[in-house]
Amino acid sequence: MTPNGAFDDLATEYDRYRPRYPAQLAEAAIGPRRNRLKVVDAGAGTGICLEWLLPPLHEPEVHAIDISAGMARAGQEKFPSVTWHVGQVEEILPTIGEVDLIVAGQAYQWFDRPAFLAAAAGALHHGGRLAVVQNNRDHASSATLSAYEGLLEAKSPGYTRGYRQIDIARELAEGLGVPETEVLAETADWAQQMAVADFVGMSSRSTQVQRAIKAVGLGFLEDVRRLAQSHATDGQVSIAYRTELFVAEVLSQQKSWASYPLKIELSLALVLCTEIKSLASQFCRFKR
Ligand X SMILES: C[S@@+](CC[C@H](N)C(=O)[O-])C[C@H]1O[C@@H](n2cnc3c(N)ncnc32)[C@H](O)[C@@H]1O
- What residues make contact with ligand X under the rule CB under 6 A? 1-2, 7, 18, 43-45, 48-49, 65-68, 71, 88-90, 105-107, 110-111
The alpha-carbon radius of gyration of the chain (Å, integer) is: 25
In the chain, the N- to C-terminal Cα span, in Å, equals 79
Q: What is the smallest separation between the CB atom of 197 and ligand X, expressed in angstroms?
A: 21
Query: Is the separation of the CB atoms in 145 and 139 below 8 Å?
Result: yes
Q: What is the smallest separation between the CB atom of 48 and ligand X, expressed in angstroms?
A: 4
Q: Which residue is nearest to ligand X (CB)?
A: 45
Q: Rank residues 130 and 178 by Cβ distance to ligand X and give the closer one.
A: 130
Q: Rank residues 123 and 178 by Cβ distance to ligand X and give the closer one.
A: 123
Q: What is the smallest separation between the CB atom of 252 and ligand X, expressed in angstroms?
A: 29
DSSP 204-216: HTSHHHHHHHHHH
41-63 burial, b if ≥16 CB within 10 A, otherwise e? Answer: bbbbbbbbbbbbbbeebeebbbb
Q: Rank residues 72 and 173 by Cβ distance to ligand X and give the closer one.
A: 72
DSSP 107-170: -GGGS-HHHHHHHHHHHEEEEEEEEEEEEEE-GGG-HHHHHHHHHHHHHSTT--TTTT---HHH
Q: Rank residues 242 and 255 by Cβ distance to ligand X and give the closer one.
A: 242
Q: What is the smallest separation between the CB atom of 132 and ligand X, expressed in angstroms?
A: 11
Q: Rank residues 29 and 178 by Cβ distance to ligand X and give the closer one.
A: 29
Q: What is the smallest separation between the CB atom of 207 and ligand X, expressed in angstroms?
A: 8
How far apart (Å, rounded) are the C-alpha atoms in residues 74 and 92?
19
